[in-house]
Amino acid sequence: MKKITSKAGVLLILLSLVSVDVMSETVTTRRKSIPTGASNNSGATTTTTTTTTTTTTIITEPQGPQVTNSQKEVEIVFVLDTTGSMGGLIDSAKRKIWGIVNEVLQNQGEGSKVKIGLVAYRDREDDYVTKITQLSENLDEVYIELMNFVAAGGGDEPEDVRRALHEGVNSIQWSASRNGLTKIIYLVGDARPHDYPDYPSTVNTARRAKEAGIIINAIQCGNLGGTEVFWREIAQYAGGEYFRIDQDGGAVSIATPYDAELTKLSGELDKKYIPYGANTEMALYEKEKSLAYMQKDSPMEAQAARAVNKSMNAYAYSSDDLVQAIENKSLILSDVSVDYLPEQMKNLSLAEREAYINEIIEERKVIREKISELSKQRMKYISENAEENKDSFDASVSESLKKQLN
């Protein structure tokens, strides 16, 4: 059942700490007046009974904290060509996206937030023209969508870049521009746009993006004739950078002696996930299913980088993670309805619930510290043993982010 509170003081505290979806109800109540001869605050006396109208607020969804104007936030959307020639690049994205997000978090500082979205595109008469994954700070959810990307279709050289870029700018649910927020698109493909007339030209869309405060970086894979001029124009009119990289993405990967242990520790952190909300059993089932999928099919490099992300990202888990919400001070445990708690907490007293959550918070801290130490050793090993490719997908993204982040 949903928790209802009508006490103004509690309501104001709750709304100041938690961003919630709410439904209001108007309730008419009878209230006794101040007894005859008693004074109210203004000094007058009264013997009447008054009718008052109050509004109750019903919490309907667990939510993360509201973003403050001073908080740094980065929203990145990758508009990726997924036609048959792009298999190498898609593989590079699957291996490198966690590391890209980690780099942003390190550069932006503690408490920063990164949201990632995707637009996969092909051409008309392929299985699909575009597939959109909306912006989310829950990278697990986005990564599962990325894992499902396969290179197929295409055939003729041009692709429906016009529609893909248009949807990247206009169909993605970008946040309103504010201080501390950076909005970036990476257009990644190898073929020039078809000139279909039912969508604006890529130059017009690039201009529209700049007006909306969105930077577009254009990354050309390979050297197909005719693509460069379009990619350079898009970057120019949207205030971004142009890069040319190898057809296969050029990403350099190296296995390290620390990857397996990092992946194991990541799994231990995942076990500390405590869902809250209307259906905690389903939330836990979906989480376990997605984790099993990632562990089975994602590259070891990505799993190791994911572990690092979970140790440093204040928003590493979904908004229904009770432990994360309390750690981030976006929720007070006493404000959560018993019906919204997982089964193992429902019969506990408030003091016992607080002790249970605090114990998990401390266990998370210990695991994070281990991950942090291993991550330093892993990065040292990579720097000593891997050859850098400055013309790779991840290097191009990294170079542009250093220039464009607030």
Question: What percent of the chain has a predicted confidence (pLDDT) above 70?
Answer: 83
Give percent of the chain above pLDDT 90.
Answer: 66
Q: Is residue 355 part of a domain?
A: yes
Long-range contacts of 89-93 (CB under 8 A, 24+ apart): 89/188, 89/221, 89/247, 89/248, 89/249, 89/393, 90/149, 90/150, 90/151, 91/248, 91/249, 91/251, 92/248, 92/249, 92/250, 92/251, 92/392, 92/393, 92/394, 93/146, 93/149, 93/188, 93/249, 93/393
Q: Tell me whether residue 316 is in a domain.
A: yes
Q: What is the mean pLDDT of the chain?
A: 83
pLDDT value at 12 more than 70: no
Task: State the pLDDT at residue 406.
Answer: 66
Please indicate, yes or no, whether residues 164 and 269 belong to a single structural domain of this protein.
no
Query: Is the separation of the CB atoms in 110 and 269 below 8 Å?
Result: no
Q: Are residues 216 and 163 in the same domain?
A: yes
| CATH number of the domain where residue 112 is located | 3.40.50.410
Q: What's the confidence (pLDDT) of residue 66?
A: 47
Query: In the structure, what pLDDT confidence band is assigned to residue 156 with cuts at 50, 70 and 90?
Result: confident
Shared domain check, 309 and 166: no
pLDDT at 359 over 90: yes
The two structure tokens encoding residue 143: 């990564």
pLDDT tens readout for residues 249-265: 988 888 999 999 999 99
> What pLDDT does residue 102 have?
94
Averaged pLDDT for residues 298-309? 93
Tally of domains within the chain: 2
Residue 208 shares a structural domain with residue 137: yes
Q: Which of 31-40, 180-189, 255-264, 290-299 is least confident?
A: 31-40
Could you tell me if 229 and 264 lie in one domain?
no
In a domain, 12, yes or no: no
Report yes or no on 330 lying in a domain. Answer: no
Average pLDDT over residues 358-372: 96
User: In this structure, is residue 396 part of a structural domain?
Assistant: yes
Dump pLDDT digits (tens) for 224-249.
989 999 999 999 999 999 999 999 89
Q: CA–CA separation, 187 vs 121, rounded Å?
A: 10
Of 215 and 7, which is predicted with more confidence? 215
Do 197 and 344 lie in one domain? The reply is no
Query: Has residue 40 got a pLDDT over 80?
Result: no
Tens digit of pLDDT for each residue in 369-381? Answer: 999 999 999 999 9
Assess whether 115 and 219 both reside in one domain: yes
Q: What is the mean pLDDT of residues 157-163?
A: 95
Question: For residue 212, is pLDDT > 70?
Answer: yes
Radius of gyration of the chain from Cα atoms? Answer: 25
In a domain, 7, yes or no: no
User: What gap in Å lies between CA 147 and CA 94, rounded to an integer?
Assistant: 7
* Whether pLDDT at 14 is above 60: no
| Torsion sign across C-alpha atoms 385, 390, 396, 399 | positive
pLDDT tens-digit series, residues 61-120: 444 444 444 578 999 999 999 999 999 999 999 999 999 999 999 888 877 899 999 999
> What's the 3-state SS for the chain?
CCCEECCHHHHHHHHHHCCCEEEEEEEEEEECCCCCCCECCCCCECCCCEEEEEEEEEEEECCCCCCCCCCCEEEEEEEEECCHHHHHHHHHHHHHHHHHHHHHHHHHCCCCEEEEEEEEECCCCCCCCEEEEEEECCHHHHHHHHHCCCCCCCCCCCECHHHHHHHHHHCCCCCCCCCCEEEEEEEEECCCECCCCCCCCHHHHHHHHHHCCEEEEEEEECCCCCHHHHHHHHHHHCCCCEEEECCCCCCCCCCCCCHHHHHHHHHHHHCCCCECCCCHHHHHHHHHHHHHHHHHHCCHHHHHHHHHHHHHCCCCCCCCEHHHHHHCCCCCHHHCCHHHCCHHHHCCCHHHHHHHHHHHHHHHHHHHHHHHHHHHHHHHHHHHHCCCCCCCHHHHHHHHHHHHCC
Q: What is the pLDDT of residue 288?
A: 83
Whether 196 is covered by a domain: the verdict is yes
Q: Which residue has the higher pLDDT, 160 or 68?
A: 160
Residue 175 lies inside a defined structural domain of this protein: yes
Q: Which residues contact 156 (CB under 8 A, 6 or more apart)?
A: 123
Question: Do 177 and 300 belong to one domain?
Answer: no
Q: 400 lies in which domain range?
A: 73-250+391-404
Could you tell me if 167 and 287 lie in one domain? no
Q: What is the pLDDT of residue 46?
A: 36
Higher pLDDT, 297 or 199: 199
In a shared domain, residues 212 and 295? no
* Residue 285 and residue 222 in one domain: no
32 pLDDT higher than 90: no
Looking at the fold, whether 217 and 84 belong to one and the same domain comes out as: yes
